[in-house]
């Protein structure tokens, strides 16, 4: 049984198809990155998975049940989308209240410390910086020690140190029964941390597989050189052919480079848009 499964899910807002036919799942032990440009349908997919919205068509299941079922949600932890905490509350108070929702929560102080919030635990959230609020948001997803953690763009607004702490935390959780689903704009993160990548664009799942297979399947090489009008960079499937044509064309060029394929290149090929 999948921890989370979207099956042929469609969602329409007015005349806009946010999701057309989205099918993907996440199972025990996986770290799944959901990639896609802005407006691709990532957030809608997550909202349906979290039980915040209902699908127009298709089904969403959480631990085999409804995402609105409290018994299923007790195994799920999520981050607040934006960090709009009630100003007067303190991180520790919020974390304690969130932990109270779960049958076997993690230690509140230990979780706050893991995100570098131990020294800030008694400050008001209104006095915290944007990055600190973001770290609190992440700590809340983990404090219930849920089986599935869902993070919507977890590293946006985080400094390098906090990013590392987050990935350490995520990796510490994985390998067992736990699973993590996150959306991101950062391809390097998906590449470095995910066991599987789901690419959503235009409301559809365009790819679902390991980071390595994404690169293989949509592998492109980047040819770059300095031409008469300045630097040129071209992504192409057949670099040999491209270079032959370039030489034959008689255009003056220098500093010819053929770069190895990256996930970012694959992503551009896949969605037709950078990031």
Partner 1 sequence: MTAPRLILAHTRLMLLDLLRSPAYLIPTIFFPTMFFLIFAVPNARQPARADFVTLSFVAFAIIGVTLFQFGVGIAAERGRPWERYLRTLPAGAAVRFAARIACALAFGLCAAALVAITARLTTPMDFGPAQWMRLGLYAVAGAIPFVLFGIAIGYWVSARAALPIANIFYLLLSFAGGLWMPPRFLPGIAATISPYLPTRQFGELLWSIVGAGDATRALPALAVYSIVFAILAAIGYRRDERTRYA
At 110 the three-state DSSP class reads helix
244: left (phi over 0), alpha (psi -120 to 50) or beta: alpha
Number of residues interacting with partner 1: please give it, by CB under 8 A.
Answer: 33
Q: What angle do CA 75, 114, 46 make, to 5 degrees?
A: 40
8 Å CB contact between 24 and 6: yes
Binders in 75-104 for partner 1, by CB under 8 A:
76, 78-89, 93-94, 96-98, 100-103
Quick one: which of 70, 172, 233, 256 contacts partner 1 (CB under 8 A)?
70
Which x/- pattern, by CB under 8 A, does the window 193-232 give for partner 1?
----------------------------------------
Question: In the chain, count of helices (H) and strands (E)?
Answer: 10, 12
Angle between helices 91-99 and 130-142 (to 10 degrees): 20
Residue placing its CB nearer to partner 1 in the complex, 53 or 221: 53
Residue placing its CB nearer to partner 1 in the complex, 100 or 247: 100
Shortest distance (Å) from residue 140 CB to partner 1 = 8
- The CB density around residue 245, as the number of other CB atoms within 10 Å, is 12
Quick one: which of 4, 9, 50, 117 contacts partner 1 (CB under 8 A)?
50
Query: Per rule CB under 8 A, is residue 57 in the interface with partner 1?
Result: no
Shortest distance (Å) from residue 52 CB to partner 1 = 6
Residue placing its CB nearer to partner 1 in the complex, 26 or 266: 26
Stated as kind and residue range, the H or E segment containing 33 is strand 31-35
Binders in 125-154 for partner 1, by CB under 8 A:
140
Place of tokens 């905490």: 85
| Binding piece for partner 1, criterion CB under 8 A, among 73-81, 184-192, 199-207, 243-251 | 73-81
Closest to 102 in 3D by CA, of 75, 66, 138:
75
Query: Per rule CB under 8 A, is residue 123 in the interface with partner 1?
Result: no
Cα(148)–Cα(141) distance, rounded to whole angstroms?
9
Binders in 102-121 for partner 1, by CB under 8 A:
102-103
Q: Which residues bind partner 1 (CB under 8 A)?
A: 50-54, 70-71, 73-74, 76, 78-89, 93-94, 96-98, 100-103, 124, 140
């Amino acid at each position: 049984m999948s921890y989370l499964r979207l099956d042929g899910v469609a969602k329409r807002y007015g005349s806009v198809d946010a999701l057309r036919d989205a099918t993907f799942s996440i199972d025990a032990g996986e770290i799944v990155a959901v990639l896609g440009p802005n407006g691709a349908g990532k957030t809608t997919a997550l909202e349906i998975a979290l039980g915040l919205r209902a699908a127009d068509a298709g089904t969403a299941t959480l631990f085999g049940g409804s995402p609105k079922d409290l018994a299923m949600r007790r195994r799920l932890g999520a981050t607040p989308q934006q960090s709009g905490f009630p100003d007067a509350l303190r991180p520790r108070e919020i974390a304690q209240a969130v932990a109270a929702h779960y049958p076997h929560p993690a230690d509140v102080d230990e979780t706050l410390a893991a995100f570098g919030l131990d020294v800030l635990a008694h400050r008001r959230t209104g006095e915290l910086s944007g990055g600190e609020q973001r770290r609190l948001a992440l700590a809340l997803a983990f404090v219930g020690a849920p089986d599935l953690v869902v993070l919507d763009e977890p590293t946006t607004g985080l400094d390098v140190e906090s990013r590392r702490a987050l990935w350490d935390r995520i990796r510490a959780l994985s390998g067992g029964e736990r699973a993590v689903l996150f959306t991101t704009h950062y391809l390097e993160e998906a590449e470095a941390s995910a066991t599987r990548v789901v690419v959503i664009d235009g409301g559809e799942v365009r790819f679902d597989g390991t980071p390595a297979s994404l690169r293989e399947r949509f592998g492109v090489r980047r040819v770059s050189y300095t031409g008469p009008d300045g630097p040129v960079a071209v992504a192409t499937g057949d670099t040999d052919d491209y270079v032959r044509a370039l030489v034959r064309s008689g255009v003056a060029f220098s500093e010819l480079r053929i770069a190895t394929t990256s996930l970012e290149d694959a992503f551009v090929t896949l969605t037709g848009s950078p990031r």
